Structure 1
Amino acid sequence: MKTYKSKLPIKHPGKVFRERFLSRYDITVKNAAQKLRLHPSSLSRFLNGQMPVSCLLALKLEVATGVSAQFWVAWQNDYDLQQLEILRKELIDAEPLLDTA
C-alpha cells in the first residue's frame, strides 16, 4: 500500500488562511466572516483547525482571496491524509485484497 509521506508537517488550511491573509493584511475575524458570509464562530473554528474546508467554503475563499477553490480543497485533502497517516496503525484495520508475494 502506498502511504502519504511529507517531510514537513502540513498546516491546516484555516491556519494558512489566517497567516497569509488575515494576519498579513490586518483583517479581523469579524470583518472576514462578514465578507465570507459566515458566522464568526464558524470562521474561528476553521481558523483554529477545528473545521475542514468544504467545497462551499473553498468557493468562498476563492472569491475572497483569488486563490482557487481547487487549491483549498487539495490543501485540506493533503492535511487530512497526513493526519490519518500519523494515526494510521490505530485507525486503519485492513489488509491488502491480493497477496503481492
Structure 2
Amino acid sequence: MSKRLSLIMTDVDQQAVAPWISAGTVEHETLRAWAASRGDDVRPTEASALRVLLKAGVEQLRESALEAAYEDLAEEFGQQDLAADRRAARDRYAARSDRGRE
C-alpha cells in the first residue's frame, strides 16, 4: 500500500539532502550503489532519492537499536566478550535479512 505524504523541508534540511539527490555527486552515486545492493534503484527524481534515503536511515537506526538491545542482553547475562557477541548477533541478523530479500 502506498501513501502520499506532504513534507515541508527547511533550508537546513534541503542543504543536508542536496548532495544525495543531485545526480553526479559522490553522495548520489553512493546512494545509488546502496540501493542497487538491496535490489532497489534511484530514479531521477527527488522523491525517489528521498525514499531511498529514508530506507537507509531506517536500516541504520534498526541496526543501532538491535545493537543496543544485544548490549543490554549481554550486560544482563554478564557476558565478557561484548564485541564478539554483538558481531555474531549482527551477522545472524544480516543473514536473516538477506534471506528475507531473496
What TM-score range do you get, normalising by the shorter chain? under 0.3
- Decide which structure has greater helix share: 2
| Structure with the larger RCO, 1 or 2 (CA within 8 Å, 6+ apart) | 1
- Larger Rg computed on CA atoms: 2
